[in-house]
Amino acid sequence: MFQTIVLATDMSPAWGEIIACAGELKALGCSRVILTNVIVAKFLVGLEEMLRADVRPKLEAQRRQLEAQGLQVEVEMPIGLPAYSLNDIACRHGADLIVVGSHGTALWREAVLGCFTCAVLHHIKYPTLLINVRVKKEDQGEAACSLHCGSLLRHVLFPSDFSEIGVRAGEFLENLAAKGLGQVTLLSALDLPEHEAYPEGYQEIAADAVRNLLRRWKDRLLQAGIPLVNDHFAPGHPLPAILQTLESQKITLILMGTQGKGFIKELFLGSVAHNVSRLATCPVLLIPPTSR
């Protein structure tokens, strides 16, 4: 499913943990990795080769770690803006997935983009796995990441508005059933703007429609071979419902579409995916629209 993966390392300390657990990506079908570090020389014109020379030994060390885990590895060090460079690399190599650290510290992310996850959501054209990486100060312990060996597909949270992109994300979820997906929690929220007037009984009708879609998707995922599927309807804005589910259950991966627009106005906007990618304590797999 995700046979070729662009692994966009930013060389921060937490990426050592991501590389060490990269064999976990085999659960998604990965056998080939394009190990990539984007060289941003916007304010350092003429120093590109010096920057590459500094990064190359570190990339080669990461390459050897990945190959030791049974992965085929190629190394790329493009010069440019990360979001666009990653799209180009994914296109040239026929990649199925891009993996980035959503909170890593790196020169190109802080000085050029400011918010890398924001750039990802706006520009990336391929399914993207965001891994929360936390770089701690020396007196606070070692760096850490949210990718834990052996657990990625144990319990997947699937928030959806059942729009076109929501359905596309659901199809990706179905395909993961064959990869050993253990449990899925379906979540859909109903957020009706308070300032708008609705016919009598409209809210109840809309809620019933959402619950019906949840039941249909639950049956569909069970038929796909997923052993355990829970469905949950949450009145109100989807973001608090997603975060509450993360707190109350041991979610190992969130899979969701970006820029969804359901049959209820502003039910599930792209900004929800952006906020989830910032706040989630587990990896987030984002599925973009096919039109990108």
Q: Is the pLDDT score of 98 beyond 50?
A: yes
When pLDDT is averaged across residues 125-129 and rounded to a whole number, the result is 90
| One domain for residues 13 and 33 | yes
Decide which of 129 and 140 is more confident. Answer: 129
Same domain, 160 and 261: yes
On the question of pLDDT at 234 being above 50, the answer is yes
Q: Do 110 and 238 belong together in one domain?
A: no
Residue 282: alpha-carbon gap to chain centroid: 9
Which residues have a Cβ under 8 Å from the Cβ of 22 and sit 6 or more positions away?
7, 33, 65, 66, 69, 71
Residues 120 and 189 in one domain: no
Q: Could you report how far apart the first and last alpha carbons of the chain are, in Å? A: 19
Q: Does residue 132 sit in the same domain as residue 163? A: no
Which residue has 């009145």 as its token pair? Answer: 235
One domain for residues 137 and 84: yes
| Domain span holding position 134 | 4-145
Average pLDDT, rounded, for the chain: 81
Give the other-Cβ count within 10 Å of 91's Cβ. Answer: 11
User: Both 120 and 22 in a single domain?
Assistant: yes
Domain identity same for 172 and 231: yes
Whichever domain contains 52, its CATH number is 3.40.50.620
Q: Residues 48-58, buried b or exposed e (16+ Cβ, 10 A)?
A: eeebbeebeee
Percent of the chain with pLDDT strictly greater than 70: 77
Q: Which residues pair with 156 in a beta bridge?
A: 184, 253
Predicted confidence at residue 288, as pLDDT, reads 87
For residues 88 and 134, membership in a common domain is answered with yes
User: pTM of the entire structure?
Assistant: 0.84
Instruction: Based on the fold, state whether residues 174 and 274 are members of the same structural domain.
Output: yes
The residue from 86, 115, 145 where one domain ends is: 145
The answer to the question of residue 24 being in a domain is yes
Q: How many CB atoms lie within 10 A of CB 289?
A: 15
Q: How confident is the model at residue 137 (pLDDT cuts 50, 70, 90)?
A: very low
Residue 260 half-sphere exposure toward CB, CA atoms < 13 A: 28
Confidence of residue 269 (pLDDT cuts 50, 70, 90): very low
State the average pLDDT over residues 275-292.
82
The last residue of one of the domains, among 114, 145, 176, is 145
Give DSSP secondary structure letters for 43-84: T-TT-HHHHHHHHHHHHHHHHHHHHHTT-EEEEE--BS-HHH
195 and 81 co-located in one domain? no
Are 105 and 171 members of one domain?
no
Residue 151 covered by a domain = no
3-state secondary structure of 247: helix
Domain boundary among 125, 145, 165: 145
pLDDT tens digits, 192-231: 666 666 677 777 888 899 999 999 999 999 999 999 999 9
Per-residue confidence (pLDDT) for residue 106, from 0 to 100: 42
Amino acid at 278: R
Whether 150 is covered by a domain: the verdict is no
